[in-house]
Structure 1
Amino acid sequence: MREFSLPALYEVPADGNLTDIVRRNAAQHPDVAVIGRKVDGSWQDVDAKTFLAEVRATAKGLVAAGVRPGDRVGLMSRTRYEWTLLDFAIWSAGAVTVPVYETSSAEQIQWILGDSGAVACLVELDAHAAAVESVRDRLPALAHVWQIDKGGVEELKSAGAEVTDQTLDERCAAAGADDPATIVYTSGTTGRPKGCVLTHRSFFAECGNVVERLKPLFRTGECSVLLFLPVAHVFGRLVEVAALMAPIKLGHAPDVKNLTDELASFRPTMILGVPRVFEKVYNSARAKAQAEGKGKIFDKAADTAIAYSRALDTSSGPSLGLRIKYKIFDKLVYSKLRAVLGGRGEYAISGGAPLGERLGHFFRGIGFTVLEGYGLTESCAATAFNPWDRQKIGTVGQPLPGSVVRIADDGEVLLHGEHLFSRYWNNEGATEEALADGWFHTGDIGTLDEDGYLRITGRKKEIIVTAGGKNVAPAVIEDRIRAHALVAECMVVGDGRPFVGALVTVDDEFLGRWAAEHGKPAGSTASSLRDDADLLAAIQSAVDDGNAAVSKAESVRKFRVLSSQFTEESGHLTPSLKLKRNVVAKDYADEIEAIYRG
C-alpha cells in the first residue's frame, strides 16, 4: 500500500455557500469582466456587478414560483451563458441544481428528474421541452418548466419583481457548506446512473485548491478560459466555478463544430478539453500539411517539438542544434498551430482519458502545455493534476492539495478529502460500498511514483482475463490505437478468449481525405472500405503502435473494422465520450465472434 498527499493551499470556509463567490466578486472586482457573452455573433463583457444583478433577478423568479430551500431544479441546456447564470440563480434561491445532458433521451430525463424529485426544470431548445413534456405525466413533483429560447429567463425576472432583497438574502444564506449544491448523475457506463451529491464544501475544496495551485493560469484581469465542455459534466462545472472563484473571464461555446472560430474570436489564455480535442487538432494540422504537399516538413517539425520537450526534462536541456531547429519550425509551423488555438494560450488542462506521452510532448514542444489531470464525478472533477511548474508527461499529476491518494494492495486508487461527494442520492447501499472506511474506492487501477505522481493503468472492472490467464488493462492499448488519425474509437476484447482482439471504427472526417489520397472511389465510406487492403494496412499500423506499449500476451492479434460509429446517439458512448463496453459487446457480438472464428 502506498499513499501521497499535499497540504491544502486554500482554506475552505467553515460555512457559507457558492453564492458568496458572485457577491464577493461584485464587491471586490465590480468592473472586472467575469464573463464573455456571445450576442449576435460578437463577444460582450459582463462585469461582476452586472452578473450579480442578473443572478439575483433570476433567483427572485424561482422564489416567486415556489422553489424552496433544498428543492431540486433540473437544468438541461448546451454550454451557454444562461447555464452559468441559472446555476448561480438556483443556488441563490437556496435550491440544488440537477444537470441533465442536453442529449439525454426521454427515459434518461425521466430517471434523473424523477429520482432527484425535481420540482422545476429549465430547458434550452424545443426538442428539450418536448422530451420533458413526453414524460411529465410520470413526474408528479415537476411543477414548472421554463424554456431559455422561449424567454424563460426573462419570464423568471419578471415574475420575481415583487420579491424583496431581504427575502432573497435569506435564501442565499439558506444553504450551509455541507448542504448539497448539485446532484450530478454519473454517465452510466454500467446500469442506471447514480446521483452524486456534491456539497458547497466539495466545490470550495476542489476549485479553491485548483486555482491556488495553478495560480499563473488564473490571473484576474489577464486570463480567460473558453468553456466548450458540457456544463452538465462535472469537469465543465469545475471550469465554471473555478473561473468565477479566481475570477477570470469565462466564455461559453455551445457547438464544438465551430470551436476553431470560437477560439479565434474569444482568444482564451487557457482551454480545457478531453484528449480527443487535442488529437483532432494534431491530426487536422498534419492532414492539412499533407494536402498542401508539406507533410514531410510537418513531420520533421513534430519530431523536433517532441525532442525539444523531452530535452526539457533532462539536466542539460535542449542542445544548441535542437534550439536552432526549434526556432525555425516555430516560425514555420508552431506559431500557426498556436494561432488555431486562439493565439494567446499557453496552457490547457486535459481530463477524461489519457492523452498519450507523444502528444503531450508535442503540444508542450510547440509552446502550448497540456496539463493532464484525473478525476471522477464523485471527486468533484480533478482529484489529481499536473502542476504548471513541475509537469510529468505521461502521468495525471499529483493529488489535489488537501487530499490524499492511496494505492490499495490490489492496485485500486483510493481517495480521501473534502472535495469528495457526500453520498449517492437515494442509494445507501452504493454509498456504503463506494465510501468504505472513509475512503472512496474509484474502481481505477494505478500507481504512485516517489514524487506522488499518479498513473492510471486501467479500470478494475474492465480488466480482461484471457483464456491463458493473462490480465489485460484495455485502456493502455486503446488510447494508443485511437491516437491514429483514421481511428475514431477502439474497444479491446478478449475476456475468456485465446488472445486479445479489437473493434475499430473509422473517423469519417479523415476517411474522405485518406480515400482521395489513396485512389479510392469518391464517396467511399467505412462500410465500402472495411475490407480494403490499404485501409486495413493503415489500421494495422495504428494497432502496431498500440502493441508497442504492451507485452506480447497483451497485444492485439486481430481486429475488425466496423461499418458504423460508436456515438452517444447510438447508445455506445456516454455524454462524456466513455465507451459503454457492455452495450458495444452486446450489439457487436457477431463482429467479436468473427475475430475468433477459425
Structure 2
Amino acid sequence: MREYSVPVLVDVPASANLTDTVFQRAEQEPGSIVLRRKAGDDWIAVTAREFRDQVAAAAKGLIAAGIEPGDRVALMSRTRYEWTVADYAILAAGAVTVPIYETSSADQVKWIVSDSGTKAIFVELESHEETVREVLPELEDLKDIWRFEGGAVEELTAAGAEVSDETLNERRGSRGVADLATIVYTSGTTGMPKGCRLTHDNLLFTARNVAGGPLERLFTVDGRAVLLFLPLAHVFARIIQTVLVETGTILAHTPNMKNVGPDLQGFKPTFLLGVPRVFEKVYNTAEQKATAEGKGKIFHAAADAAIAWSRAESSGGAGLGLKLKHTLFDKLVYGKLRAATGGNLSVAISGGSALGERLGHFFRGVGIEIVEGWGLTETSAPSTVNIPGANKIGTVGKPFPGVTVAIADDGEVLVKGRHIFDGYWNNDKATAEAIDSDGWFHTGDIGELDADGYVKITGRKKEILVTAAGKNVAPAPMEDRIRAHPLVSQAMVVGDDKPFVAAIVTLDPEALEQWKAANGKESATIAELSADPAIVAEVQKAVDDANRSVSKAEQIKKFSILDIDITEESGHLTPTLKVKRNVVMRDFAKHVDDLYS
C-alpha cells in the first residue's frame, strides 16, 4: 500500500470553536469589512462588528426560544447572507447546524429533520415553509419555524433582547473542538442520505491548515473577495465559508444562479469556487456566442492557443511563436472572458467531479487558473488540493497539511487526518464500515498516487462496470469528456453485465435554443432534435473524443439520446449534479434495453 503524508501546519487548541474568530475580530478589527450583502444593484459593506452583533442577537433569540447546547437546528435556504448569520448564531448558542438543500422534497425534509431530532428550522421562502408544514404533523421534535423572507433574524433579535451577554458568552464557551458543530446529510445517489457528524475541530482544523498552507495567497492579500453561489448545504461551499470567516476574506452570496453573471461583474471577486459543470457552461456559452457572431474560427483558434500555451507552461515554457499568438488572443478573446467574471478573477477552485485536462488548460491559458481539489462530506470537504503556481492539471493535488493519503491494493483511496468526520449520525454500522481498525477512512473512490504525492481520481468503486466479457470500466472519465460538448447536458455510461459499453445522453436546453436559431430550426421540438442527424453527429463527436481516452474494450459502441433532460428537479441528479444511476436505469430501462436489442 503506497501512501503520502504532509505534516500538520496549524494546530487547533482544545478550547477553540468556530465562533471565536467572529467575536474576536469584532473586538480587534471592528471596522474591517468581512462581508458584502446585495441591496438592489449595490453591494453593502458589513463590518466585523456589525456581523458579530447580528450573530449575537440571533443567537440570543435562539436561547430565548429554548434552544439548548447540542440541540439541532436546521437551515433550509439558498445561499444568502442570512444563511451565514443563522449558521454562526446556531453555533454561538451552543447548538448544531443541520443544512437542508432548498430543493429538497417533503419526504427528504421529513427524513433529515426526524433522523437528526431537529428542534427548530430556518427556511428562506414561503414555499420552503409549506414543504416543512406538509410533514410537520409527523415531526414531533420540531417546535419552531423561522422564515428569512418573513423577518426571521429580526424576530429572533427582538425575542432575545432580554438575554444577557454573559449568558451568550457562557453558551459559546461551553463548546470546544471535540463538540459537534454540524450534521451534513450526504446527498447520496442511492437510498436515503446519511448524516455526517462534523465537529468544530473537523472544520477548524481543515480551514486553518488549508488557508495557512496550499491556498494561503488566496486569503492573505488585501482586497481578496469571494462570491459564493454553490449551495451552502453542501460541505464544499460550507468549508470555504469557514475559511473566509477565519481569514477575514470578504464574502458575498448569490442566491439565484441566473444572477451569477451580472453579480460577478458587479462584485468583481478575486477567486470563486464551482463544480466542473459551471466551468463547462462558461466555456460553452463563450463558444456559442462567438459562433453566433461569426467569430467561431477565431474562438477555436484562441482556445487551441490557450491550451497549447498552458501545456507548454507545464513542460518548460512556450516558444516565441506561441507567446506572440497567446498575446494576440489575449487582446481579442481572453480579456473579454476575464472581464465577464469581473476582471479581478485569477484563480478558481473546482470540486465535486473531474474537470478534465483540456478545460483546465484552457482556463489557465486564458488567465484564470482552476485548481482542483478532492474530498467527501466525511472528510470535511477537501483531502487534497492543487496549489496555484504548482498546479498539476489532471490531478486533484496533494494532501493538505495534516492529511495522509494511501492507495489500497484494490486501488481504493484511503485517508487519515483530523479532518475525518466523527461518524454517521445514528448509524454505527455504517461508521464501522467506513473507518477501519487502523483509522483509515475508506473513500470509495479509485485513484492513483504519483511520486510527488499528487492524487488522480479515476472512478468510483461502486460505479465500476464489469462487462459480460469481464472488462472493468470506469464510467466517470468518459462521461466527463462527453459532457464537455456544448450540446450535451448529461451522459451516463452503461454496460454492467452487457456485451459492450454504451451510453445515455441528454441535450442541453439552453444550447439547443442557440443551435436551432443558427440552423434555421426554431420550431423543432427536443424530441425531433434528439433524432436529428446533425445533432446525432455532434454527439458522436463527443463519444469519439471519450473513446480516444480508453482501450478498445472500454469504448462506447452505441448511444441513445433522450428526448428530455435529466435534472435535479426530475429526481435524476443530486443537488451537487451527480447522476443517480439507479434512478436513471429504472426510469429509462427501455432505452438501455434497446441499446442491446
Give me the whole-angstrom Cα distance separating, in 2, the residues matched to 1:24 and 1:319. Answer: 51
Q: Classify the secondary structure of the residue corresponding to 1:443.
A: strand
Residue 27 of structure 1 deviates from its aligned partner by 2.6
CA separation of 1:523 and 1:382: change in aligned 2, threshold 3 A: farther
**Greater alpha carbon shift after TM alignment, 184-193 vs 80-89:** 184-193
Give me the whole-angstrom Cα distance separating, in 1, the residues matched to 2:223 and 2:303. Answer: 30
Give me the whole-angstrom Cα distance separating, in 1, the residues matched to 2:27 and 2:7. Answer: 30
Give me the whole-angstrom Cα distance separating, in 2, the residues matched to 1:568 and 1:209. Answer: 34
Aligned-partner residue type, residue 66 of structure 1? G
Q: Classify the secondary structure of the residue corresponding to 2:499.
A: coil
Give me the whole-angstrom Cα distance separating, in 2, the residues matched to 1:525 and 1:235. Answer: 37
Alignment correspondent of 1:510: 511
Q: Classify the secondary structure of the residue corresponding to 1:349.
A: strand
Q: Classify the secondary structure of the residue corresponding to 2:212.
A: helix
Alignment correspondent of 1:148: 148
Give me the whole-angstrom Cα distance separating, in 1, the residues matched to 2:32 and 2:261. Answer: 26
8 Å contact kept, 1:512–1:523: no
Alignment correspondent of 2:449: 448
8 Å contact kept, 2:14–2:178: no
Give me the whole-angstrom Cα distance separating, in 1, the residues matched to 2:396 and 2:557. Answer: 29
1:543-572, Cα deviation, whole Å (9 max, x unpaired): 000111111111110000001111111110
Give me the whole-angstrom Cα distance separating, in 2, the residues matched to 1:231 and 1:440. Answer: 24
Give me the whole-angstrom Cα distance separating, in 1, the residues matched to 2:14 and 2:488. Answer: 49
8 Å contact kept, 1:220–1:247: no
Q: What's the TM-score once normalised by structure 1's chain length?
A: 0.99
Alignment correspondent of 2:83: 83
1:478-529, Cα deviation, whole Å (9 max, x unpaired): 0000000000000000000000000000001111211232333x13232122
Alignment correspondent of 1:266: 267
Q: Classify the secondary structure of the residue corresponding to 2:583.
A: helix
1:255-404 matches, cutoff 5 A: 255-315=256-316, 317-404=317-404
Residue 385 of structure 1 deviates from its aligned partner by 0.7
Is 1:196 the equivalent of 2:185? no
Give me the whole-angstrom Cα distance separating, in 1, the residues matched to 2:182 and 2:160. Answer: 23
Aligned-partner residue type, residue 236 of structure 1? A
8 Å contact kept, 1:267–1:344: yes
Give me the whole-angstrom Cα distance separating, in 2, the residues matched to 1:476 and 1:503. Answer: 15
Aligned-partner residue type, residue 393 of structure 1? I
Q: Tell me the matched-pair count.
A: 595
Residue 15 of structure 1 deviates from its aligned partner by 2.3
Aligned-partner residue type, residue 414 of structure 1? L
Give me the whole-angstrom Cα distance separating, in 2, the residues matched to 1:122 and 1:167. Answer: 23
Alignment correspondent of 2:56: 56
Give me the whole-angstrom Cα distance separating, in 2, the residues matched to 1:553 and 1:255. Answer: 44
Is 1:20 the equivalent of 2:33? no
Residue 16 of structure 1 deviates from its aligned partner by 1.8
Alignment correspondent of 2:226: 225
Residue 220 of structure 1 deviates from its aligned partner by 5.2
1:555-596, Cα deviation, whole Å (9 max, x unpaired): 110000001111111110001111100000000000000101
Alignment correspondent of 1:423: 423
1:68-106, Cα deviation, whole Å (9 max, x unpaired): 000000100010000000000000000000001000000
Give me the whole-angstrom Cα distance separating, in 2, the residues matched to 1:531 and 1:151. Answer: 50
Alignment correspondent of 2:564: 564
**Greater alpha carbon shift after TM alignment, 202-211 vs 509-518:** 509-518
Give me the whole-angstrom Cα distance separating, in 2, the residues matched to 1:240 and 1:445. Answer: 28
Aligned-partner residue type, residue 167 of structure 2? T
8 Å contact kept, 2:309–2:326: yes
Give me the whole-angstrom Cα distance separating, in 1, the residues matched to 2:130 and 2:120. Answer: 15
Q: Classify the secondary structure of the residue corresponding to 1:593.
A: helix
1:342-367, Cα deviation, whole Å (9 max, x unpaired): 11011000000100000000000011
Aligned-partner residue type, residue 421 of structure 1? F
Give me the whole-angstrom Cα distance separating, in 2, the residues matched to 1:221 and 1:22. Answer: 19
Residue 531 of structure 1 deviates from its aligned partner by 1.5
Give me the whole-angstrom Cα distance separating, in 2, the residues matched to 1:29 and 1:227. Answer: 23
1:213-269, Cα deviation, whole Å (9 max, x unpaired): 211110253200000000000011011110011111000000111111010001000
Give me the whole-angstrom Cα distance separating, in 2, the residues matched to 1:169 and 1:27. Answer: 14
Give me the whole-angstrom Cα distance separating, in 2, the residues matched to 1:313 and 1:453. Answer: 15
Alignment correspondent of 1:126: 126
1:158-197, Cα deviation, whole Å (9 max, x unpaired): 0000000000000111111011100000012111100000
8 Å contact kept, 2:196–2:424: yes
Alignment correspondent of 2:435: 435
Aligned-partner residue type, residue 375 of structure 1? G
Aligned-partner residue type, residue 481 of structure 1? I
CA separation of 1:169 and 1:220: change in aligned 2, threshold 3 A: farther
Alignment correspondent of 2:497: 496
1:382-423, Cα deviation, whole Å (9 max, x unpaired): 111101231100000001211111100000011100011101
8 Å contact kept, 1:220–1:246: no
8 Å contact kept, 2:482–2:542: yes
Aligned-partner residue type, residue 217 of structure 2? P
8 Å contact kept, 1:32–1:221: no
Give me the whole-angstrom Cα distance separating, in 2, the residues matched to 1:330 and 1:530. Answer: 37
8 Å contact kept, 1:378–1:421: yes
Aligned-partner residue type, residue 146 of structure 1? W
Q: Classify the secondary structure of the residue corresponding to 1:382.
A: coil
1:247-262 matches, cutoff 5 A: 247-262=248-263
**Greater alpha carbon shift after TM alignment, 142-151 vs 508-517:** 508-517
Is 1:460 the equivalent of 2:468? no
Give me the whole-angstrom Cα distance separating, in 1, the residues matched to 2:72 and 2:406. Answer: 34
Alignment correspondent of 2:236: 235
Give me the whole-angstrom Cα distance separating, in 2, the residues matched to 1:111 and 1:80. Answer: 24
8 Å contact kept, 1:371–1:388: yes
Aligned-partner residue type, residue 252 of structure 1? H
Residue 381 of structure 1 deviates from its aligned partner by 0.7
8 Å contact kept, 1:33–1:221: no
Residue 432 of structure 1 deviates from its aligned partner by 0.4
Give me the whole-angstrom Cα distance separating, in 1, the residues matched to 2:357 and 2:525. Answer: 31
Give me the whole-angstrom Cα distance separating, in 1, the residues matched to 2:582 and 2:389. Answer: 40
Residue 444 of structure 1 deviates from its aligned partner by 0.4
Residue 30 of structure 1 deviates from its aligned partner by 1.7
Alignment correspondent of 1:589: 589
Alignment correspondent of 1:42: 42
| RMSD, matched Cα | 0.9
1:180-191 matches, cutoff 5 A: 180-191=180-191
Give me the whole-angstrom Cα distance separating, in 1, the residues matched to 2:82 and 2:156. Answer: 12
Alignment correspondent of 1:157: 157
Residue 323 of structure 1 deviates from its aligned partner by 1.0
Aligned-partner residue type, residue 35 of structure 2? I
Aligned-partner residue type, residue 308 of structure 1? W
1:521-536 matches, cutoff 5 A: 522-536=522-536
1:432-486, Cα deviation, whole Å (9 max, x unpaired): 0001121110100000000000000001000000000000000010000000000
Q: Classify the secondary structure of the residue corresponding to 1:502.
A: strand
CA separation of 1:275 and 1:475: change in aligned 2, threshold 3 A: same
